[in-house]
Structure 1
Amino acid sequence: MTEVRDPSGPLDLRVLEVVEETGDARSLVLEAPAGLTYKPGQFLTLAVPSEQTGVAARCYSLSSAPHETGHLQVTVKRTADGYASNWICDNVRPGTTLTVLPPSGIFTPADLDADLLLFAGGSGITPVMSIVKSALTHGSGHLVLVYANRDESSVIFARELAELSEKYVDRFVLVHWLESLQGLPTADRLRPVAEYFRSYDAFVCGPGPFMGGVVAMLKELGFPRERRHQEKFVSLGGNPFGDAAISGGSGVVDIGDPGAEEPDPPLRETPARVVGDLDGEEFALDGWDPGTPLLDFLLSQGVGAPYSCREGNCSACACIVTDGEVSMRANDVLDADDLADGIRLACQSLPVSDEVRITYSG
């Protein structure tokens, strides 16, 4: 079994099983490394061989839950023009070894005992499935899941969801929305559900238009920022795996309208100080060079900060700036609400103030 030596470095994981969920969706069951931990709703970044670039990095949400020990599971839906999803569905078999980055992402409940209102469209069910299983098994709250698909044959995890609905009949309400029967799941048509459960914490994942419409509707209904969550990462460019060897739908969503970047403040001329906490441990570091991204500095100092793409295309490295100021070089995922809450991408953040305080527990 693989052992986690570098909490932020690449891992080579063996595929134990390939499960055909629907005609165009496959779940990859991977051997779980000893010592690896993750939160429900997070994702893995997979390395896919590419003749053009050597490697294509793609993020796929974990459909397994942390309490399901011994394995990790990601679910990949084939898309017509999706190079990575087609390669995975066509080539990955039991025994295949895949290079991945450790679990990342902030699409995860802060409290499994909370009441949750979940909206999923198509393969957006993947991280939601992880959250549902975790909250039902280890939480005490009530869950409502609205799951939209084209038709009955495209419903991923249909049997497992039915079993959970039957087992937790007093806590779990499952609503299937089939376009073939009910038409498009527009925000206006989903509004009555959100209105009835407006005290719940809302989570939304799915195709861009679906997610954008639902999130806008939640805002109109007055769901506060802290109770409104949407999955945020886009298809990645570049190679976040370094020199790691490559062997060898989905939860990937395009959020459409990220927050506009502010003009860069003047670059500092002297090193800064960063103070923060990660996984319950505090750190205080001097010597943050003005031209070095926060993530790079933290990693160089032995802080196992999370990351994935290192290009500003995902939220895996997101932290909250509680004091001080940073400037981001790029931002393709954080919206205006995120920025107002102090959320910043560590891989793109440069110091502006003398001292910056951050937290990864948000």
Structure 2
Amino acid sequence: MNTTLNPLKRFVNASLFNNTSAIGWLAPVIQLRRPGWQPGLFRCYVTSKQVINQHVLQLSLKPSAKWPGFKPGQHIELNTLIDGRQQSRTFTISSSLSLWQKEGEIELTIRCHQDGRFTPHLLSAVSSGDRLYISEAKGDFYPETENSPLLLIAGGTGITPFASFIDQQVKRDTPVTLLHFAPTSDDHLFSQHFTKLSQQHPHFRYLPMSTQKQGYLSREMLRQNLSESDSDHVMVCGLMD
């Protein structure tokens, strides 16, 4: 009985109190057929889900053809229903622009919080083929210059925006140095890709730092590993603890 009445009740309430626009009236009707839909969001489907380690999950998503795309370094709002209620969180797109252009897919690399509500749901209840909803891509976290030496400092999953645009920067022959701080080697996301990239492009330096062995980011650590020519432009993202 409640299963039938709850959607109807939400429809009546939303219709009565949301009359600021035509979409406000139509939204409850659409939600009866497409749970989780909200105005301004775009449908997408989960094409794969991979558990990277005990803390990190990677989702591959295929947005609808209406989704306008993204610029490397941008983030999106991911929306889904949890226990009948609309929930959303913001995640940075970690995949390259070439994946979107060739396959029409994007990837989110997500840190899962055991005491959270949203990420445990993604880990336990979301599967390949499931429908989710995403917002337009937002933000402007991208190098301001194309040719100046670039120093990137990432902590944990703060590596994700760098993973999205670093290939493009390296292919331009831009000198790039990447320091990634994480507790252990298992936490250095995309390490195989970055290592291979550094072997192919001598102007790219990849320095994975284990905080358990080498300690946290410090002036002395930077002095030991960098020269003045490495850091004309500096970008920092993520927690360093």
- SS of the aligned residue for 1:47 comes to strand
Are the aligned partners of 1:144 and 1:172 in contact in 2 as well (CA < 8 Å)? yes
Where in structure 1 are there 5+ consecutive unaligned residues? Answer: 1-7, 212-362
SS of the residue 1:104 aligns to: coil
> 37, 45, 63: which one pairs with 1:14?
45
Deviates more, 1:141-150 or 1:17-26: 17-26
Corresponding residue number in structure 2 for 1:165: 198
Which structure 2 residue ranges, 5 or more long, are not aligned? 1-38
Map residues 210-249 of structure 1 onto 2, 5 A cutoff. 210=240
Say how many residue pairs are matched: 198
Q: Is 1:203 equivalent to 2:235 in the alignment?
A: yes
Deviations 1:314-342 (A, max 9, x none): xxxxxxxxxxxxxxxxxxxxxxxxxxxxx
Q: Distance in 1 between matches of 2:146 and 2:46?
A: 29
Q: Answer yes or no: is the 8 Å Cα contact 2:73–2:92 preserved in 1.
A: yes
TM-score, length-normalised on structure 1?
Answer: 0.51
For the pair 1:77 / 2:111, whether they are aligned, the reply is yes
Partners of 2:188 and 2:175 in 1: how far apart? 22
**Alignment correspondent of 1:60:** 91
Deviations 1:264-316 (A, max 9, x none): xxxxxxxxxxxxxxxxxxxxxxxxxxxxxxxxxxxxxxxxxxxxxxxxxxxxx
CA offset at residue 194 of structure 1? 6.0
Task: Work out which of the residue numbers 197, 208, 213 in structure 2 matches 1:181.
Answer: 213
Q: Deviations over 1:137-186 (max 9, x none)?
A: 3x231110000110112221122222212222x12100011022212x13
Indicate the residue corresponding to 1:143 in structure 2.
176
> Equivalent residues in 2 for 1:32-47 (5 A)?
32-34=63-65, 36-47=68-79
Amino acid at match of 2:182: N
Higher fraction of helix: 2
Does the 8 A contact of 2:150 with 2:230 survive in 1? no
Aligned 8 A contact 1:112 1:140 in 2: no
Identity of aligned residues (%): 22
**AA partner of residue 61 (structure 1):** T
Q: CA deviation at 1:136?
A: 1.9
Change over 3 Å in CA distance of 1:81–1:195 after alignment to 2: farther
Match of 1:22, SS state, is coil
Superposition CA RMSD, Å: 2.2
Separation in structure 2 between the aligned mates of residue 198 and residue 156 of structure 1, nearest angstrom: 22
CA distance 1:19–1:189, shift in 2 (3 Å)? farther
- TM-score, normalising length: structure 2: 0.74
The answer to whether the 8 A contact 1:48-1:56 is kept is yes
1:40/1:109 contact within 8 Å kept: no
